[in-house]
Amino acid sequence: MTSLRWLTLTVLLWAVTSSAHQQKEAITRILFNPRTANIEVMHRFLLHDAEHAVKELLSADADILGSETTRQEFADYVYARFSISDQDGHPIRLTPVGNEIEGRFIWVYQEVAIPKTLTALHITHDALRDLWPEQKNLVNVERDGQLKSAYFSGGSREITIELQNASDQ
């Protein structure tokens, strides 16, 4: 019985360890900031995933930790694969703000002035999903104290989030 427990424990530890390196998940926060009157977009990727991605996207020598150029190229890749548009399908052009490494994550930032009339967001988030079909991207939209989420996995391409102003509640 002891060897069976040991084998079970070993398999469980292996599964947990391997999944820790293969999470293939990213989180994006879209914040309607009334103080700045901007929509602020913050993408958070696991550094481990980003390291593997730049080696596939750029070259085997790409170094996201040691090269600001590589970090910028990764950010440019994210900018090209994330977009939002208004309720009528008109693109909302986001301005790149920058990127940074914080602990085990790389953050990529964008922003734009909040449009005067915005009742829905059409969101596309294909970053890393073009490399790995199992990649999942969660987008949280925060506006007027409300939180709505969109979860990109599998074949999901564009997700629409209906928005309400605080005055509409």
Model-level pTM?
0.84
Q: What is the mean pLDDT of the chain?
A: 87
**CB contact set of 155 (below 8 Å; sequence gap of 6+):** none
pLDDT digits (tens, 9 = 90+) for 101-148: 999 999 999 999 999 999 999 999 999 999 999 999 999 999 999 999
* Least confidently predicted of 7-11, 36-40, 104-108: 7-11
* Rounded mean pLDDT, 21-26: 77
Residue 13 CA, distance from chain mean position: 28
Residue ranges per structural domain of the chain:
24-168
